[in-house]
Amino acid sequence: MGLLSNAKNKFPVFCIGDVVRHRLYPFRGVIVDVDPEFDNTEEWYAAIPEDVRPEREQPFYYLLAENSETFYSAYVSQQNLLSDTENGPVNHPDIDDVFDGFEEGRYQLRAESYN
């Protein structure tokens, strides 16, 4: 599977609650929202080094992310994400605001999050 293999799929391959990791950088997270294609600022897009800048015409995901030093929110293209169910739950402090628990390798969305 090459770097752009997920980019060629214009439909989301991940769902809210899925645990993923970045293909290039050392962080992982849980998906909390999905944009069908790029929907962030031009400044954000231009700040990505051109040699690793993702295509715009693919799903982008909002993550509650973590690395070995901190917790944060991330906006990541589909082409740069891989499933990360084998490493267990994510420890982000905001998880309980959105999800009810971790079952069978993914987070279960809280009922009140549907509204």
Residue 9: its pLDDT value, please? 74
Q: pTM value?
A: 0.88
Mean pLDDT confidence for 104-113: 88
Which SS3 state, helix, strand or coil, does residue 78 take? helix
Q: In this predicted model, what pLDDT tens digit does every residue of 21-75 receive, in sequence order?
A: 999 999 999 999 999 999 999 999 999 999 999 999 999 999 999 999 999 999 9
Mean pLDDT confidence for 5-23: 86
Residue 85: its pLDDT value, please? 87
86's CB contacts (< 8 A; 6+ apart) are none
Which residues are 73's β-sheet partners? 64
